[in-house]
């Protein structure tokens, strides 16, 4: 027990101090306008330098500080949450390796070194998703790693295409990409879409909820899913192409709308929060496709804080409710768990974008800039409906879990957890209130010029009020009266199952891939490659060696045959001449 306590305590101290140092360096870099690029050459290949490059600017320092801070809170929280697990040490090492992989991805502007952190995130996330070692975890882990391998292949292909320009440093070459480099842009966007779970790669994100809750808090806040967004923030110059910009805007808005709609039909607590993550990723990528990378980075940081807090609160609730995750089995937790309920309400209100919370400063600014931009009517309506749906499923979650009476048979053991689990929640709750205003003062000393009519200006507040009213009243009616959604059963199944994306990803796509791989193995690996490849070459060489060995065995029979053959050849030559 002393070893377990010391592990998460050392993680808290080490990562917390590192976070403070990175935040100080970020403020100094932002104030002085200085960036540092560290580069050393490993070797040269065909006039192409194989180099290791690190970029240390205010974006890298700021994101590193947030990741280290959230990781320190999650690891300290895990000291109590995972204390009863016999594989506690392995869990802590995996989470720490996960953080190291994300840090390696952040500080590198080089696609090859980015691939190291990128693959590290994919591999370690698979090990964390299958941590509980049951059938559900195994299926979720396989779906996660197969979906992410698509992005890994896209990164590898983009590395091969970057080889033609003599460098993999997209900082130095990316701004000079011509319209002929459309394939590189598409591959990088595809890689970011797989990590950020955009349509059609959205199925793995809710499935990854099979991992322990502290892992979900880390993965869905600042590490795995934000890796794709951060790559596109660094690669934001590719959105100058109109076709790419409009296509990415449509995909991200569709993902945002689909996730918000699906969360209103979900009853698993962790899956609702996962779908809210998917919705916020759509918000980040949509404003990024419009060319506002600073706003996307701003929302990325604020979202990391309140989403980590939301998962930690969900972990405490699940931990105290004897591993129940169905929100219909909850209720009345505001009286038995007041501290957890307070922190959860803070994170939920910040997620909705309620005024003066952290999410308000980033999300409201994103919506107003998007309304002011030149977007089509369909994208505008998706923005509007997704914002209202976010508030609706948030108040639905509050209604089911925190209000009313409990549906469990016994509530005697339900209470706020000890100081090890509540201290990180209080710290993240404090940051969820103050970080929005603080970051807006730091990142945007000269504010955006918003020029909207009063109706558009108040549209966001109207959506918040209407969404909260709808989320509360519709679920109040569904509890007291007959479920209205049963009259539209097929439509409810469609929107509640993420538009059948899990079915397409896990059944059709995987079956097609596995069957194609089996046919390829039978016809190529065990067929033509075996006949003309290693086995065929071995038989041919061994047959030739056997003949050479027989020729060198000094037998009279061989010499007589050779003599007669030589006589026949000589007679033929003489006759021919």
Per-run averaged pLDDT (10 residues), the chain, 577 residues: 58 82 86 80 73 84 90 87 81 88 87 85 88 84 85 87 73 63 84 87 84 85 85 82 84 89 85 89 90 88 90 86 79 81 88 86 88 85 88 86 65 70 87 87 79 82 82 65 62 70 63 71 73 74 77 70 80 76
CA distance 27 to 441: 12
- How high is the pLDDT of residue 207? 84
How many C-beta atoms surround the C-beta of residue 516 within 10 A? 10
Domain presence at residue 405: yes
Tokens 């370690």: give the residue. 124
- How high is the pLDDT of residue 219? 83
Residue 317 contacts residue 310 (beta carbons within 8 Å)? no
Specify the pTM.
0.82
Paired strand residues for 39: 53
Paired strand residues for 54: 38
Domain presence at residue 323: yes
Give residue 392's region: left, alpha or beta (phi > 0; psi -120 to 50).
Answer: alpha
Residue 291 belongs to domain spanning: 241-483
How many C-beta atoms surround the C-beta of residue 182 within 10 A? 14
CA distance 203 to 274: 11
Domain presence at residue 501: no
| Residues listed for the chain | 577
CA distance 366 to 292: 9
| φ, ψ (nearest 5 deg) of residue 555 | -95, 145
Helices (H), 269-292: 269-289
Domain presence at residue 34: no
CA distance 28 to 543: 73
Q: b/e string for 206-234 if b means 16 or more Cβ within 10 A?
A: bbbbbbbbbbbbbbbbbbbbbbbbbbbbb
Domain presence at residue 317: yes
CA distance 385 to 391: 10
Domain presence at residue 155: no
- How high is the pLDDT of residue 565? 82
Sign of CA dihedral 320, 326, 332, 337: positive
Please state the domain count of the chain.
Answer: 1
- How high is the pLDDT of residue 1? 41
Residue 266 contacts residue 496 (beta carbons within 8 Å)? yes
Domain presence at residue 67: no
Residue 353's nearest CA partner among 315, 383, 330, 319 is 383
CA distance 57 to 102: 16
CA distance 117 to 227: 10
CA distance 64 to 18: 9
As a whole number of Å, the CA-based R_g of the chain is 29
Residue 219 contacts residue 228 (beta carbons within 8 Å)? no
Domain presence at residue 285: yes
Q: Is the peptide bond before 31 cis (omega within 30 degrees of 0)?
A: no
Residue 53, helix vs strand vs coil:
strand
CA distance 219 to 125: 8
Q: What is the 3-state secondary structure (H, E, C) of 149-176?
A: HHHHHHHHHHHHHHHHHCCCEHHHHHHH
């Amino acid at each position: 027990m002393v070893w377990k306590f010391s592990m998460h305590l050392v993680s808290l101290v080490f990562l917390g101090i590192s976070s403070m140092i990175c935040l100080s360096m970020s403020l100094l870099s932002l104030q002085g306008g200085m960036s540092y690029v560290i580069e050393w050459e490993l070797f040269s290949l065909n006039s192409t330098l194989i180099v290791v490059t690190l970029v240390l600017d205010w974006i890298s320092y700021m994101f590193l500080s947030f990741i280290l801070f959230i990781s320190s809170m999650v690891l300290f929280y895990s000291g109590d949450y995972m204390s009863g697990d016999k594989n506690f040490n392995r869990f802590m090492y995996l989470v720490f390796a996960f953080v190291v992989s994300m840090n390696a991805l952040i500080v590198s502007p080089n696609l090859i070194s980015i691939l190291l952190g990128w693959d590290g995130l994919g591999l370690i996330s698979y090990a964390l998703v299958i941590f509980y070692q049951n059938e559900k975890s195994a299926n979720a882990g396989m779906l996660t790693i197969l979906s992410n391998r698509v992005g890994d292949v896209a990164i590898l292909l983009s590395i091969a295409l970057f080889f033609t320009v003599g460098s993999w440093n997209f900082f130095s070459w990316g701004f000079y990409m011509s319209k002929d480099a459309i394939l590189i842009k598409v591959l990088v966007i595809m890689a970011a879409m797989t990590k950020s779970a955009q349509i059609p790669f959205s199925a793995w994100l809710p499935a990854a909820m099979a991992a322990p809750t502290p892992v979900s808090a880390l993965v869905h806040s600042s590490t795995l899913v934000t890796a794709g967004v951060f790559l596109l923030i660094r690669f934001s110059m590719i959105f100058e192409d109109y076709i790419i910009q409009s296509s990415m805007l449509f995909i991200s808005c569709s993902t945002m709308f689909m996730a918000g709609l699906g969360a209103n039909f979900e009853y698993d607590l962790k899956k609702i929060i996962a779908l809210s993550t998917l919705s916020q990723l759509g918000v980040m990528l949509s404003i990024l496709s419009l060319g506002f990378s600073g706003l996307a980075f701003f929302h990325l940081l604020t979202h990391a804080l309140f989403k980590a807090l939301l998962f930690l609160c969900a972990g405490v609730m699940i931990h105290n409710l004897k591993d129940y995750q169905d929100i219909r089995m909850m209720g009345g937790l505001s009286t038995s768990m007041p501290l957890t309920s307070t922190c959860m309400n803070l994170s939920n209100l910040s997620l909705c974008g309620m005024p003066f919370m952290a999410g308000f400063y980033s999300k409201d600014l994103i919506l107003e800039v998007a309304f002011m931009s030149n977007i089509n009517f369909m994208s505008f309506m998706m923005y509007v409906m997704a914002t209202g749906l976010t508030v609706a499923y948030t108040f639905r979650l509050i209604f089911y879990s925190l209000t009313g009476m409990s549906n469990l048979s016994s509530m005697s053991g339900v209470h706020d957890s000890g100081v090890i689990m509540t201290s990180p929640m209080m710290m993240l709750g404090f940051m969820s209130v103050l970080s929005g205003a603080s970051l807006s003062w730091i990142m945007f000393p000269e504010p955006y010029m918003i020029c909207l009519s009063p109706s558009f200006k108040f549209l966001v507040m109207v959506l918040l009020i209407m969404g909260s009213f709808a989320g509360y009243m519709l679920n109040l009616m569904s509890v007291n009266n007959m479920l209205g959604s049963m009259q539209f059963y097929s439509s409810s199944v469609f929107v509640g199952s993420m538009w059948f994306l899990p079915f397409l990803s896990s059944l059709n796509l995987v079956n097609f891939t596995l069957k194609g791989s089996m046919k390829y193995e039978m016809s190529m690996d065990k067929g033509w490659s075996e006949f003309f490849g290693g086995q065929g070459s071995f038989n041919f060489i061994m047959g030739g060696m056997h003949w050479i060995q027989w020729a060198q065995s000094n037998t009279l029979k061989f010499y007589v045959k050779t003599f007669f053959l030589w006589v026949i050849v000589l007679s033929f030559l003489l006759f021919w001449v």
